[in-house]
């Protein structure tokens, strides 16, 4: 306990030591002058813990000193409670110090008067005042955040009910603000402290679980660290790696918001690499993707597209040793500072005194708020806008008629469609996002207007499950697909059976219902549909059923195995029961054959797939197939591109592939001989024509040596 108290007890000498590392002698002495004034004003006052009151403002100033805030801000921090708690007036501060400091202290005092009990309607006015204070000088908010942080650190002396209320307020108001301004080191600490106070049991249990998981395999952590460090040295890129601690609060949020299981969250290894330059970030990413296989679709480039609060970094997930997922962040030292301190990180770059808002993204945000504030006289309306910005877990999107649909952050157009109505989701074919056609996988942003285009005969696509995130959308799609799978299997079964019968000179229509019914019960199926489904899924051979159906005298002779007459036509829309082999990635236009995989349906292969030999030896069931003229859908295929080793080659090629209208599902690169590398892309294309266009484009890129398709 005594240890805790000592941590909270900051002496002015400690503060000055810290200030001397970045402020001038004169500036430090000004801060000291503010201390003398404040100590005098607070003389005789004590905190709830019994210690002298002045410890609190010093501690608040210390938090801001760690962010390297300017000396005026620190002076105001030391004086932040004098108007409120000691009868000192604003005019007096203006006289003893200056207008700037008087305004800052006055701003903080006004905020202190506001009680933010909840997001409730009654608080709208207070929100508005707070926002206004921010737009005038954001240092007011930084001082308020530091004040709150120190109060949270010393929450232990409060009555539990009061501590809980303050924790709730911190969660509702201060954490979102810290997040929006990107001040993550403060935010993380507030989160842990608030969770401890508000949900002490949950925090204790989760903390134990998280500690247990991360402590489980220390040798694996050091092993990965060593591998990464060695690779960094090999690449001759100056950089430092460190493991990141799992935070209890963020683990808890993921469990609540994303419904993730603790086991999935805790057993992830998180590392961060800090390098010198932006260029080195991308080179380091390449080196790491080379060291461990990247998880497809998990790479995020927040350097090219920073988050709204200015955060920049590369994020990727790798398959580590024994398949453990490794979350990796790569960024420069400067980006790291912004990641930790957000808007405050920009302060010490500015020389001129009293420079207020600096970070571009935050400045932009504040400007927008001010505009909303001006244009809406109504506090509730203003609050709605502010909530949108302060509560980033939700996205607010409009229907064409102006109705607001609230979705979790990360929701896509598909989620919106299902939120409107199940039928709208099931029959969704396209969407206009702010009047522009947009792919269904597009993530939604606040304030967008979305119109869903439907077609009566449209049906859900299994691929939607890759990007639908709401429970409603996922459950409805799954239920529909299950039904669809049965229908499609029956339809395919009918086509297969019809084709076999035709070869025997009999038409399926010529077989009477009664005959069919006899066969159905003989084979132990409930009805005809079920029999056809079993044929479609490959659990029953169509040929055998056909033979059983055709009475022996009708059957002239054994019909040979090859079936030149009718090969089955693949339309591309039978995705539930027709799969496309990953090994050879057949695309429309390729010569194809198909093989039955009992229970799962057909798998279509390229005719030159090297695996076909194995299947032949295993005596698998073959089927001749051909593409329909109007084949639909998207198809995966893998290509290899040999390039000269040049910086940015991967990015250039990837950008061009995207421009050609193809999606990249996976990328790998390997160095061949120091001069050249091979890039291996798994792409989504429409057909051979699409691929040929893509090849032509890629060949035109300077330093591309060779482009080839990989089959098998
Ligand atoms: Mn205070």
Alpha carbon separation from 540 to 241, 512, 553 (Å, rounded): 56, 21, 24
Task: Tell me: do 118 and 225 sit in the same domain.
Answer: no
Model confidence pLDDT, tens digit, residues 294-346? 888 788 888 877 776 678 899 999 988 877 888 899 999 888 887 887 767 66
Whether residue 11 is found in the same domain as residue 70:
yes
Strand ranges inside 415-532, DSSP E = 428-433, 436-438, 450-454
Q: Are residues 278 and 331 in the same domain?
A: yes
On whether both 151 and 43 belong to a single domain, the answer is yes
Please report where in the chains the tokens 């903080």 appear, as a residue.
108
**CATH number for position 55:** 1.10.3210.10
Specify the CATH number for the domain of residue 672.
Answer: 3.30.70.260
Q: How does pLDDT run across 409-457, given as a tens digit for each residue?
A: 789 999 999 989 889 999 999 999 988 888 899 999 876 789 999 998 8
Among 14, 85, 327, 491, the active-site one is 85
**Residue from 14, 84, 327, 334 carrying the catalytic annotation:** 84
Q: Of the residues 135, 157, 179, which one is the last residue of a structural domain? A: 157
Domain boundary among 616, 633, 650: 633
310 neighbors 282 (Cβ within 8 angstroms): no
Answer yes or no: is pLDDT of 66 > 80.
yes
In terms of domains, do 245 and 223 share one?
Answer: yes
Length of the chain, please?
A: 712
Question: Between 141 and 557, where is the model more confident?
Answer: 141
CA of 354 to the centre of ligand 1 (A): 22
563 has pLDDT over 50: no
Contacts of 138 (CB under 8 A, 6+ apart): 181, 343, 356, 357, 362, 366
Q: Quote the CA–CA distance of 332 and 361 in Å, as a whole number.
A: 19
Q: CA 189 → CA 153, 398, 421, distances in Å? A: 9, 35, 41
Residues 648 and 586 in one domain: no
Q: State the residue range of the domain holding 84.
A: 2-157
Q: How far does the centroid of ligand 1 lie from the alpha carbon of residue 115, in Å?
A: 14
Span from the CA of 54 to the centroid of ligand 1 (angstroms): 10
**Residue 302 falls inside a structural domain:** yes
Residue 141 and residue 68 share a domain? yes
Q: What pTM was estimated for this model as a whole?
A: 0.50
Residue 331 inside a domain? The answer is yes
Percentage of residues in the chain with pLDDT exceeding 90? 20
Find the 23 Cα to ligand 1 centroid distance in Å. 24
**Residue 154 DSSP one-character state:** T
Does residue 105 carry a pLDDT above 70? yes
Specify if 681 maps to a domain: yes
Mapping DSSP onto H, E and C, the string for 616-644 reads HHCCCCEEEEEECCCCCCCEEEEEEEEEE
Query: Is residue 381 situated within a structural domain?
Result: no
Beta-ladder partners of 358: none
The encoded tokens of residue 258 equal 């994303």
More confident: 147 or 568: 147
- Ligand 1 centre from 199 Cα, in Å? 24
Ligand 1 centroid distance, CA of 379 (Å): 27
CA of residue 118 to ligand 1 center, whole Å? 20
pLDDT of 353 > 60? The answer is: no
Non-local (6+) Cβ contacts of 469 within 8 A are 408, 410, 411, 412, 415
Q: Which of 297, 321, 349 is the last residue of a domain?
A: 349
Better-scored residue on pLDDT, 130 or 441: 441
Residue whose structure tokens are 């990796």: 328
CA 151 to ligand 1 center in whole angstroms: 7
Residues 133, 226 share a domain:
no
Which pLDDT score is estimated for 166? Answer: 87
In a domain, 552, yes or no: no
- Lowest mean pLDDT segment, chosen from 32-46, 115-129, 210-224, 380-394: 115-129
Q: What is the pLDDT of residue 657?
A: 86
Q: What is the pLDDT of residue 371?
A: 55
Taking the centre of ligand 1 as the mean of its atom positions, its distance from the CA of residue 53, in whole angstroms, is 9
Question: Among 43-57, 232-246, 291-305, where is mean pLDDT lowest?
Answer: 232-246
pLDDT in tens, 532-546: 888 888 777 788 788
Dist. CA 68 → ligand 1 center (Å): 20
pLDDT at res. 712:
74
What stretch of H or E contains 224? helix 218-235
HSE toward the beta carbon, residue 510, CA cutoff 13 A? 12
User: Are 265 and 289 within one domain?
Assistant: yes
User: At 35, which helix (H) or strand (E)?
Assistant: helix 25-41
- Cite the DSSP H helix spans in 236-359: 248-257, 262-266, 278-291, 333-341
Could you tell me the CATH number of the domain that includes residue 223? 3.30.460.10
Please state at what angle helix 25-41 crosses helix 71-78, rounded to 10 degrees.
Answer: 10
**Residue 81 domain-assigned (yes or no):** yes
Active site residue 85: yes
Q: 17-27 pLDDT, tens per residue?
A: 889 988 899 99
Number of domains in the chain: 4
Judge if 218 and 305 occupy the same domain: yes
Q: Could you confirm whether 84 is annotated as catalytic?
A: yes
Question: Is there a domain that residue 166 lies in?
Answer: no
In this structure, what are the phi and psi dihedrals at residue 360, rounded to the nearest 5 degrees? -60, -50
CB 654 within 8 A of CB 661: no
Q: Is 684 contained in some domain?
A: yes
- Alpha carbon of 61 to ligand 1 centroid (Å): 10
Identify the bridge partners of residue 684 per DSSP, sorted by sequence position: 636, 663
327 and 220 belong to one structural domain: yes
Cβ atoms of 641 and 704 closer than 8 Å: yes
User: How big is the chain by its Cα radius of gyration, in Å?
Assistant: 33
Q: Are residues 643 and 619 in the same domain?
A: no
Contact 172, 119 (CB under 8 A): yes
Q: Measured in whole angstroms, how far is the alpha carbon of residue 320 from the centre of its chain?
A: 20
In terms of Cα–Cα distance, which of 555, 565, 674, 568 is closest to 621? 568
């Amino acid at each position: 306990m005594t240890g805790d108290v000592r941590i909270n007890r900051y002496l002015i000498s400690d503060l000055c030591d810290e200030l001397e590392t970045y402020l001038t002698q004169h500036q430090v002495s000004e801060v000291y002058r503010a201390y003398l004034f404040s100590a005098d004003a607070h003389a005789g006052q004590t905190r709830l813990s019994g210690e002298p009151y002045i410890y609190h403002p010093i501690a608040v100033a210390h938090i801001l000193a760690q962010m390297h805030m300017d000396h005026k801000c620190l002076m105001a921090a030391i004086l932040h409670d004098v108007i409120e708690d000691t009868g000192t007036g604003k005019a007096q501060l203006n006289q003893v110090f200056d207008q700037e400091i008087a305004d800052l202290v006055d701003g903080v005092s006004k905020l202190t008067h506001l009680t933010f009990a909840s997001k409730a309607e009654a608080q709208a006015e207070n929100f508005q005042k707070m926002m206004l204070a921010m737009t005038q000088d954001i240092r007011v908010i930084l001082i308020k955040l530091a004040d709150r942080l120190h109060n949270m650190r010393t929450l232990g002396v409060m009555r539990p009910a009061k501590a809980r209320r303050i924790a709730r307020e911190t969660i509702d108001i201060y954490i979102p603000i810290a997040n929006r301004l990107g001040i993550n080191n403060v935010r993380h600490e507030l989160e842990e402290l608030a969770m401890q106070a508000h949900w002490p049991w949950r925090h204790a249990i989760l903390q134990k679980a998280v500690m247990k998981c991360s402590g489980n395999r220390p040798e694996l952590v050091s092993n990965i660290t060593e591998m990464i460090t060695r690779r960094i040295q090999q690449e001759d890129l100056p950089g430092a790696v460190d493991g990141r601690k799992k935070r209890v609060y963020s683990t808890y949020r993921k469990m609540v918001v994303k419904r993730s299981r603790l086991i999935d969250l805790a057993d992830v290894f998180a590392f961060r690499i800090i390098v010198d330059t932006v260029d080195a970030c991308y080179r380091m990413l390449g080196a790491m993707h080379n060291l461990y296989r990247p998880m497809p679709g998990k790479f995020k480039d927040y350097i090219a597209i920073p988050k709204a609060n200015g955060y920049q970094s590369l994020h990727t997930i790798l398959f580590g040793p024994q398949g453990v997922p490794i979350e990796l962040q790569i960024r420069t030292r400067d980006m790291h500072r912004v990641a930790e301190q957000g808007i405050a990180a920009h302060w010490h770059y500015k020389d001129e005194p009293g420079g207020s808002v600096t970070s571009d993204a935050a400045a932009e945000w504040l400007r927008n708020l001010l505009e909303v504030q001006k244009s809406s006289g109504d506090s509730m309306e203003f609050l709605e806008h502010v909530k949108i910005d302060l509560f980033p877990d939700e996205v607010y999107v409009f229907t064409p008629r102006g109705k607001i649909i609230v979705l979790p952050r990360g929701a896509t157009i598909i989620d919106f469609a299902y939120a409107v109505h199940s039928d709208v989701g099931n029959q969704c074919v396209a969407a206009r996002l702010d009047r522009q056609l947009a792919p269904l996988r597009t993530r939604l942003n606040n304030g967008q207007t979305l119109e869903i285009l439907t077609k009566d005969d449209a049906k859900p696509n299994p691929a939607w499950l890759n990007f639908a995130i709401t429970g409603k959308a996922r459950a409805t799609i799954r239920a529909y697909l299950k039904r669809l799978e049965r229908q499609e299997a029956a339809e395919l079964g009918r086509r297969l059976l019809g084709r076999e019968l035709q070869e025997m000179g009999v038409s399926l229509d010529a077989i009477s219902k009664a005959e069919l019914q006899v066969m159905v019960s003989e084979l132990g199926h409930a009805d005809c549909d079920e029999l056809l489904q079993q044929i479609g899924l490959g659990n029953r051979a169509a040929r055998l059923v056909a033979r059983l159906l055709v009475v022996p005298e009708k059957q002239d002779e054994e019909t040979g195995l090859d079936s030149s007459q009718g090969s089955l036509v693949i339309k591309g829309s039978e995705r539930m029961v027709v799969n496309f082999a990953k090994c050879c990635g057949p695309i429309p236009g390729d010569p194809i054959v198909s093989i039955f995989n009992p229970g799962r349906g057909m798998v279509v292969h390229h005719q030159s797939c090297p695996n076909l030999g194995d299947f032949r030896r295993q005596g698998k069931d073959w089927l001749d197939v051909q593409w329909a003229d109007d084949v639909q859908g998207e198809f995966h295929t893998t290509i290899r591109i040999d390039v000269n080793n040049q910086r940015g080659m991967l990015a250039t090629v990837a950008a061009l592939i995207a421009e050609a209208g193809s999606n990249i599902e996976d990328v790998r690169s390997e160095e061949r001989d120091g001069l050249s590398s091979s890039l291996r892309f798994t792409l989504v294309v429409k057909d051979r024509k699409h691929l040929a266009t893509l090849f032509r484009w890629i060949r035109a890129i300077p330093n591309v040596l060779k482009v080839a398709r990989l089959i098998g």
